[in-house]
């Protein structure tokens, strides 16, 4: 078996301004005169873009009218642009129209993208570092230190859940044991070198082509991730003259390539799993079909093998997953930084790194594991211990002070660099982009039988639908919590709030985060079905073996049907054999003498024959249903396909027992009549017995034509000779019936019996 393949392509960017990119920003040059731009009223979006582009290019721009831009380019050329078709028609000679799909806008967009592929920017300081450090630190919520003291469960490097009052939910730092801030001062200032990289990940599979643009920012000195620039801070940036050296840039690009390869790998693993079952199903169908052709036409084996190879190649291309990761833009950033020493009332001191360009305070690293968390415990010696490491501490003692341990690598960062070999696991879900995660959730719901429609509420995706037919509505939410957070009661209550308008509905809460015991306890009371990390791990494990289990279940069902059909066949054949034996016993040498005696026995035979024919008509219906229980052609794997259900086959066995009793009653009455007599009685009775015997024999051969015990090979299970014998017996029954009718007419005339 050959699996569908996916190609992960990462194109390393050259340390050059021609590296593939989308523009991270279009910023005005230092010498651009923005005061020349008239802005008395809002501009149309295309004119606003043209204005920013021209200013960034060093042109002097003036708004001549509400729908007309004029500019003098650095080389002295004069240009005029408008977004109004009427203006362009009136001044067709010297005004260019900016319109979607137009040549002027396309050229401007292409040049802007080319100029923005690689930029060097300096971020401007935003705020006082001491005030930023003070505002970032927050006292724990009253009577709540859960997130700083307890782990969720499992001890895998994740913090506990956050209560609804926790300042960490607002991005602030919560340190148990810190106490009030006594004072803070700046130890040093410096300019940090960072790079922000933008990538385009394009995924092509059977569902079409989809593109995503993830961004990441890296500190050059440490290689650690930092937040990407938000638009407000990016808009305040200015050009930077200093540039990074080639070695530093190459190092960051390698880090970025490794990170985006992990993201692309997660995207590819999902696409691969989504189509794997269908690929294997079609692969097996094609293989089975060609195997049957080889059995039917052994002389054309070469052509059939060539067609099989061609068909398999077509399947590979049809189900191939192509994931391309390409760097689109790079920005070298010079970021003003400050180190602030904060002293607390309890005597502890903590040094915090403040990113003045982003107004962001970096969380302190755990002294034991090296992870940066928004909450933890501060010891008098200034060590911060995250909640996940408190289990190693003795009581409230600092784990770092007690063991003298040095920080270990951050587990999530280590997992991110680990290879997944293309398999979608719960750890791979953490590396998905938000768009891929939403696609995964929609697919998961579809596989669970939930028909949904995606909506957006408060910036979050919510799926509405129904599970099954006519059942209560279902609402699904799929939050992705920050790294290290456990899902707690707060998230369960927030999910249950979506059911306020429909208390009869059900809510699915799907998240790759671990869930606390309290969350599991609360969820069923609020009608929330919780699919947390453990449930997703189990679901993915089952999904990877879904096709194999499906094939095994089909195999077991086929064996079960074959066993039931074999038992029904044996019962039907045994019943028909009993009828034939009863007819064989009807042949005797007793003699009927006298017209009255012959009339009496003739009436008994006629009644028995009528009842026997009705019973055999029901048997004929049963034989037709038996034949219809099997497919007329062999399955793709060459087996006999049993289309009837186990219940239907069992019902045939029960009907055979019932019809056997009904037919035997009529045949026993026939057997009690004399075998010979006057006036043609002997000839008529013999023809009646021959007719019934031939009909029973035909039914038996029709049943024996299919042997479900040999279902694995269609040719072995089907007996063509039995069908031929059944046809011969049916013909003999027809001839015997005709003779019986003729003989009875003669008997009736001679013995003066009523006409049949």
Whether residue 5 has pLDDT greater than 50: no
Q: Taking every pair of C-alpha atoms in the chain, what is the biggest distance, in angstroms?
A: 138
pLDDT digits (tens, 9 = 90+) for 172-228: 888 887 788 889 999 999 999 999 999 999 999 888 888 898 999 999 988 889 999
Whether residue 415 has pLDDT greater than 80: no
Q: Judge residue 638's burial from the number of C-beta atoms within 10 Å of its C-beta, 0-12 exposed, 13-18 middle, 19 or more buried.
A: middle
DSSP collapsed to 3 states, 254-269: HHHHHHHHHHHHHHHH
Predicted local confidence at residue 14, as pLDDT: 42
Task: Check: CB of residue 660 under 8 Å from CB of residue 550.
Answer: no
Predicted local confidence at residue 309, as pLDDT: 92
Whether residue 6 has pLDDT greater than 90: no
Predicted local confidence at residue 33, as pLDDT: 38
| CA dist., res. 68 & res. 79, Å (int) | 11
Task: Check: CB of residue 528 under 8 Å from CB of residue 519.
Answer: no
pLDDT digits (tens, 9 = 90+) for 670-709: 888 888 888 888 898 899 999 999 999 999 999 999 999 9
Whether residue 343 has pLDDT greater than 50: yes
The residues near 414 (Cβ < 8 Å, ≥ 6 apart) are none
Closest CA to 52 of 72, 76, 32: 32
Distance in angstroms between the alpha carbons of the first and the last residue of the chain: 69
Q: How many residues does the chain have?
A: 756
Predicted local confidence at residue 691, as pLDDT: 92
Of 166-170, 544-548, 713-717, least confident by mean pLDDT is: 166-170
pLDDT digits (tens, 9 = 90+) for 495-545: 888 887 666 778 899 999 999 888 999 999 988 999 999 999 999 999 888
B/e letters for 651-665, b = 16+ CB within 10 Å, e = fewer, are: ebbebbeebbeebbe
- β-partners of residue 226 are 217
More confident residue, 404 or 720: 720
- β-partners of residue 527 are none
CA distances from 334 to 114, 195, 238, 254, 424 (A): 22, 9, 10, 20, 38
pLDDT digits (tens, 9 = 90+) for 286-334: 888 888 888 878 888 889 899 999 999 999 999 999 999 998 889 899 9
Q: In 656-705, where do the E strands start and end?
A: 676-677
Task: Check: CB of residue 493 under 8 Å from CB of residue 526.
Answer: yes
Predicted local confidence at residue 155, as pLDDT: 46
| CA dist., res. 137 & res. 747, Å (int) | 117
**Overall average pLDDT of the 360-366 stretch:** 89
Q: Label residue 414 by pLDDT band (50, 70, 90).
A: very low
Of 184-188, 449-453, 560-564, least confident by mean pLDDT is: 449-453
Element holding 193 (H helix, E strand) = strand 181-205
Predicted local confidence at residue 75, as pLDDT: 86
Mean pLDDT score of the chain, rounded to an integer?
A: 82
Closest CA to 382 of 343, 337, 338: 343
| CA dist., res. 557 & res. 280, Å (int) | 20
pTM of the model: 0.73
How big, in percent rounded to 5, are the helix, strand and coil portions of the chain?
50, 20, 30
Whether residue 437 has pLDDT greater than 50: yes
Of 156-160, 617-621, 735-739, least confident by mean pLDDT is: 156-160
**Overall average pLDDT of the 583-596 stretch:** 84
Token reading at 319:
């189900």
Of 363-372, 439-448, 563-572, least confident by mean pLDDT is: 363-372
Token reading at 174:
């919560």
Task: Check: CB of residue 676 under 8 Å from CB of residue 682.
Answer: yes
Within 13 A of 755's CA, how many CA atoms are on the CB side? 0
Q: Label residue 153 by pLDDT band (50, 70, 90).
A: very low
Predicted local confidence at residue 402, as pLDDT: 67
Of 148-152, 400-404, 611-615, least confident by mean pLDDT is: 148-152
Cα–Cα–Cα angle for 562, 564, 569, nearest 5°?
90
Predicted local confidence at residue 150, as pLDDT: 53
Predicted local confidence at residue 67, as pLDDT: 82
More confident residue, 399 or 341: 341
More confident residue, 8 or 649: 649
Predicted local confidence at residue 616, as pLDDT: 92
Domain boundaries, the chain: 26-115, 433-544, 550-751
In degrees and rounded to multiples of 5, residue 501 shows phi and psi of -80, -10
Q: Which of the given ranges, 148-152, 216-220, 231-235, has the highest pLDDT on average?
A: 216-220
Token reading at 445:
């719901």
Task: Check: CB of residue 620 under 8 Å from CB of residue 701.
Answer: no
Whether residue 571 has pLDDT greater than 90: yes
pLDDT digits (tens, 9 = 90+) for 110-138: 887 777 688 888 999 988 999 999 999 88
Predicted local confidence at residue 393, as pLDDT: 55
**Overall average pLDDT of the 6-31 stretch:** 36
Whether residue 412 has pLDDT greater than 60: no
Assigned CATH topology for domain 433-544: Trna Endonuclease; Chain: A, domain 1 (3.40.1350)
Token reading at 598:
């012959």
- β-partners of residue 588 are none
Whether residue 388 has pLDDT greater than 80: no
Q: Label residue 258 by pLDDT band (50, 70, 90).
A: very high
| CA dist., res. 245 & res. 66, Å (int) | 46
């Amino acid at each position: 078996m050959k699996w569908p393949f996916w190609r992960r392509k990462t194109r390393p960017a050259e340390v050059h301004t021609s590296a593939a990119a989308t523009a991270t920003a279009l910023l005005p040059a230092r010498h651009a005169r923005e005061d020349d731009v008239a802005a008395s009223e809002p501009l149309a979006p295309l004119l606003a873009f043209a204005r920013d582009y021209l200013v960034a290019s060093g042109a002097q721009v003036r708004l001549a009218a509400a729908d007309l831009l004029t500019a003098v380019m650095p080389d002295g050329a004069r240009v005029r642009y408008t977004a109004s078709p009427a203006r362009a028609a009136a001044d067709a000679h010297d005004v260019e129209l900016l319109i979607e799909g137009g040549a002027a806008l396309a050229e401007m967009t292409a040049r802007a993208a080319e100029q923005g592929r690689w930029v060097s920017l300096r971020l401007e300081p935003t705020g006082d570092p001491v005030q930023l450090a003070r505002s970032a630190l927050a006292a724990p919520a009253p009577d709540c230190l859960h997130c700083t003291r307890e782990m969720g469960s499992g001890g895998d490097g994740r913090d506990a859940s956050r209560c609804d009052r926790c300042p960490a939910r607002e991005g602030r730092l919560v340190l148990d044991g810190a106490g009030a801030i006594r004072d803070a001062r700046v130890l040093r200032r410096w300019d940090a070198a960072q790079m922000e990289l933008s990538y385009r990940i394009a995924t092509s599979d059977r569902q079409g082509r989809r593109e995503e643009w993830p961004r990441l920012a890296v500190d050059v000195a440490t290689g650690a991730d930092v937040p990407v620039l938000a638009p407000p801070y990016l808009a305040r940036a200015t050009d930077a003259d200093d540039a990074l050296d080639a070695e530093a840039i190459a190092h960051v690009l390698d880090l970025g390539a490794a990170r985006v390869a992990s993201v692309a790998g997660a995207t590819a693993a999902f696409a691969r799993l989504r189509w794997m079952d269908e690929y294997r199903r079609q692969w097996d169908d094609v293989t089975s079909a060609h195997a049957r052709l080889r059995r039917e036409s052994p002389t054309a084996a070469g052509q059939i093998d060539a067609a099989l190879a061609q068909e398999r190649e077509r399947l590979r291309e049809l189900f191939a997953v192509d994931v391309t990761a390409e760097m689109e833009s790079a920005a070298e950033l010079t970021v003003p930084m400050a180190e602030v020493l904060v002293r607390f009332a309890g005597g502890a001191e903590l040094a915090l790194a403040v990113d003045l360009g982003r107004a962001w305070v970096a969380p302190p690293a755990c002294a034991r594991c090296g992870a940066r968390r928004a909450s933890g415990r501060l010891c008098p010696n200034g060590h911060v211990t995250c909640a996940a490491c408190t289990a190693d501490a003795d009581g409230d003692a600092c784990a770092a002070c007690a063991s003298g341990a040095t920080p270990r690598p951050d587990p999530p960062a280590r997992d991110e660099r680990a290879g997944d070999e293309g398999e979608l696991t719960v750890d791979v879900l953490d590396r998905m982009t938000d768009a891929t995660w939403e696609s995964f959730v929609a697919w998961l719901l579809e596989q669970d039988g939930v028909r949904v429609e995606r909506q957006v509420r408060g910036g979050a995706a919510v799926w509405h639908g129904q599970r099954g037919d006519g059942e209560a509505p279902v609402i699904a939410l799929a939050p992705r919590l920050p790294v290290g957070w456990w899902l707690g009661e707060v998230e369960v209550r927030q999910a249950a709030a979506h059911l306020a308008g429909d208390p009869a509905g059900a809510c699915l809460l799907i998240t790759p985060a671990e869930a606390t015991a309290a969350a599991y306890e609360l969820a069923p009371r609020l009608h929330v079905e919780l699919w947390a990390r453990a449930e997703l791990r189990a679901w993915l494990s089952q999904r990877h073996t879904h096709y194999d289990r499906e094939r095994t279940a089909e195999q077991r069902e086929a064996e079960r049907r074959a066993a039931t059909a074999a038992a029904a066949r044996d019962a039907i054949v045994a019943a028909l054999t009993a009828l034939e034996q009863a007819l064989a016993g009807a042949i005797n040498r007793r003699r009927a003498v006298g017209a009255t005696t012959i009339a009496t026995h003739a009436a008994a035979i006629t009644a028995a024959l009528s009842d026997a024919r009705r019973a055999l008509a029901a048997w004929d219906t049963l034989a037709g249903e038996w034949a219809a229980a099997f497919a007329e052609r062999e399955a793709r794997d060459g087996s006999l396909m049993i289309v009837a259900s186990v219940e239907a086959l069992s019902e045939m066995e029960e009907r055979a027992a019932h019809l056997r009793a009904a037919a035997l009653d009529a045949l026993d009455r026939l057997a009690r009549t004399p075998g010979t007599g006057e006036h043609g009685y002997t000839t008529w009775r013999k023809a009646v017995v021959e007719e019934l015997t031939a009909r029973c024999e035909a039914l038996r051969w029709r049943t024996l034509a299919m042997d479900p015990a040999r279902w694995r090979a269609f040719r072995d299970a089907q007996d063509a000779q039995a069908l031929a014998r059944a046809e011969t017996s049916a013909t003999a029954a027809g001839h015997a019936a005709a003779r019986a009718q003729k003989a009875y007419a003669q008997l009736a005339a001679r013995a003066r019996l009523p006409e049949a």
